[in-house]
Structure 1
């Protein structure tokens, strides 16, 4: 794989709690990576991003582009945050990231939704590689989704395709029933603990040690995840479904439970032809995927 012009790429991944950034070469090798806490508010985020780009330009002069992965609904044609969670990132909706970068540095800037970016990374170089279509779900504080067919993202009329966390299920929403944050809240309540005392990782460790409550809560989450995945499979018919987010590290524990649910909720013909995978890329998925989504990295074999 090579970039025709052989130049460096500045990558930014804007999340609700952290901003990851790095300089990547044409072979998808990161020459430098950094992490900082996400400032409060859209203006603070933009200032921090511009400052980091300025810093990188001292070591990566004349970069090919700046590629940004961002939380929120992203108008990727204009590089604008069409909508963001005001409680999580106030003042971020309407931010024209691409324009601000271009005006200050005169460098092309591409912006894409963070889940779409993670999906692109998996489709091009991860577990989705070689599959004609892929549905990705990122499970964490909420549940995000992305769908690709023959390498192309399904974005929808207003760039909000696959906002699956809002999908109505069982009198609630998909993410209000099956996100990792919900697993933590429910488990903490049953164990008379504070949510600050435990984490998703702790719950899985306890489940593997035989904690009945933790086992029951994970089983509940897996069943709901399987039901949601099945509903989406009936609409999109992906060749593979990829689970991302922090829980993807728990593949050995989760896989048999989610597959059991898929056996229950999918008709046999669809079930036989739907694979389940777990994300390969971790912290760098957003940055890598932003470059893939922008079409900066070419000749991917």
Structure 2
């Protein structure tokens, strides 16, 4: 029994999609294609927004940073998932699990606040156009991006330490596709009400508050746009916000449902599905949404190809 407890303290078994043994190869191919799409698509956004002079404005500066965050937090989870599918070895050490959880939580919080910053940028551009250059100066944009990155670091380092400082007992099988808070809390010994309480607080601080800020920004935007006399002006204003709104709905909808539902009554299958949406689907569709719905971005992508043809 002592040896068994020691083993449980040293590693977990990430079950992933073990309930689909006949589809492991197919799942590997699907997730590999999606991961390469995330790297190429978001990488292209980063390169174009940094190299094209016409895109050197705050909106595209935030978009480039957002794409970089998407690459980072997807890389925290997907390579491990691919390795597990390929090797059929699902064990992960306690230390690796803690590192994955900590980085994942920090990056998700960063993405959440970046979405709020992008909404604020659209609010200033549409509702306060004359003050836009002054409010959204380069210095302010850099400060908002840095703030989005660092605001969750001390909180999630502390919470990760708190979760892994308590003993784990029972089964060492983690019914999830990566190390996440709700399935880990199911394996801890003793009273986990304190961890659950702090997780709800984190959802409120790093999920609900940014979402409410986004909602408030778009209420003000909608109010301003409806007062515009020109139909063309309304159409242009809505088109600059539509791509961001789609990403917000995908990310927040799946993430909040997954966390709030899993904390009340954890369901492995349901949580895996919603987790796939905000960890994989959103980063995949982000480049397509912004490239296909944005004329400036399409024009910026055409230039290198036009030069090659000439």
**TM-score if structure 1 supplies the norm length?**
0.35
Q: TM-score scaled by structure 2?
A: 0.34
Higher helix fraction: Structure 1 or Structure 2?
2
Q: Which structure: greater strand fraction?
A: 1
Higher relative contact order (CA 8 A, sep 6+): 2
